[in-house]
């Protein structure tokens, strides 16, 4: 394996994964209601928290800034392999957003700083046939999005939270933040973006989670 290749998940918490998979099968946590994001700030079935919980597969990779690469490949005119300096040289944006996790916690008013996905895509230039993205992380985690959801103006590659560098447990040095979908669609320790013509369901999506994950539609499970 070369320096920046992505490991396959091995030492992940298999028991925790099986539990969540079972919840998905049984439709646990479903309230059976929907809400309107324009009117209801808190999506159905969610509970507000003050602290920021940590959820992952149990492996929190130590990704140094020296090792970090953000690759954008697949159906693009211009493949990118940004190192830390190139990433930080891109236009910087700030965003305050709410977080909604499928395990029913929500947290309001999180201030993130980073680079807008749209600004990176403008450099990579997706080909017309690109319609989906597959995202891969340093812990082997993957998730999938439509290019439309990924390229929305409020989606950023975040490197800071509340004015300080993102902590390792929350995905340092860089994670995605996509506030309009459940938080499993916001990969931590991100390293690769692949643009695709056909959808490729990710880690939780093949284990019973919904393919899109809109919290107001309560799209918890597939």
Ligand X SMILES: Nc1nc2c(c(=O)[nH]1)N[C@H]1C(S)=C(S)[C@@H](COP(=O)(O)O)O[C@H]1N2
170 binds, among Mo ion, ligand X, none (CB under 5 to 8 A by kind): ligand X
Residues 6+ apart with CB under 8 A from 55: 101, 103, 183
Residue 39 to residues 111, 130, 210: CA-CA distances in angstroms?
A: 22, 33, 24
Does the footprint of Mo ion cover residue 112 (CB under 5 A)? no
User: CB under 5 to 8 A by kind: which of ligand X, Mo ion, none does 98 bind?
Assistant: none
| Binding-site string for Mo ion from residue 28 to residue 67, where x marks contact by CB under 5 A and - marks none | ---------------------------x------------
Return the number of the residue (56 or 126) whose C-beta is nearest ligand X: 56
Closest CA to 112 of 125, 131, 94: 94
Query: With CB cut-offs between 5 and 8 Å by kind, which of Mo ion, ligand X, none does residue 134 bind?
Result: none
Separation between Cα atoms, residue 174 and residue 68, nearest integer Å: 9
With respect to ligand X, which residue has the nearer C-beta, 29 or 122? 29
Q: Are 98 and 148 in contact (CB under 8 A)?
A: no
- What is the contact surface with ligand X in residues (CB under 6 A)? 52-57, 101, 137, 139, 141, 170-171, 183-184, 186-189
């Amino acid at each position: 394996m070369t320096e920046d290749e992505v490991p396959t998940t091995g030492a992940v918490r298999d028991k925790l994964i099986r539990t969540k998979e079972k919840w998905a099968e049984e439709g646990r946590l479903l309230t059976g209601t929907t809400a309107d994001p324009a009117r209801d700030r808190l999506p159905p079935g969610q509970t507000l928290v003050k602290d920021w919980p940590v959820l992952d597969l149990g492996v929190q990779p130590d990704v140094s800034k020296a090792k970090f690469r953000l690759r954008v490949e697949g159906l693009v005119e211009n493949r990118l392999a940004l190192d830390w300096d190139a990433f930080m040289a891109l236009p910087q944006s700030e965003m305050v957003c709410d977080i909604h996790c499928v395990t029913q916690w929500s947290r309001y008013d999180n201030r993130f700083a980073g680079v807008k996905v749209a600004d990176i895509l403008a450099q990579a230039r997706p080909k017309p046939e690109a319609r989906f993205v597959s995202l891969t992380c340093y812990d082997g985690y993957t998730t999938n999005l439509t290019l439309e959801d990924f390229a929305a103006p409020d989606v950023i590659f975040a490197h800071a939270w509340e004015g300080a560098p993102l902590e390792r447990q929350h995905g340092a040095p860089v994670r995605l933040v996509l506030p309009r979908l459940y938080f499993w669609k916001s990969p931590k320790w991100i390293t690769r973006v692949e643009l695709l013509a056909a959808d490729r369901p990710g880690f939780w999506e093949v284990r019973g989670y919904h393919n899109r994950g809109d919290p107001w539609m309560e799209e918890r499970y597939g």
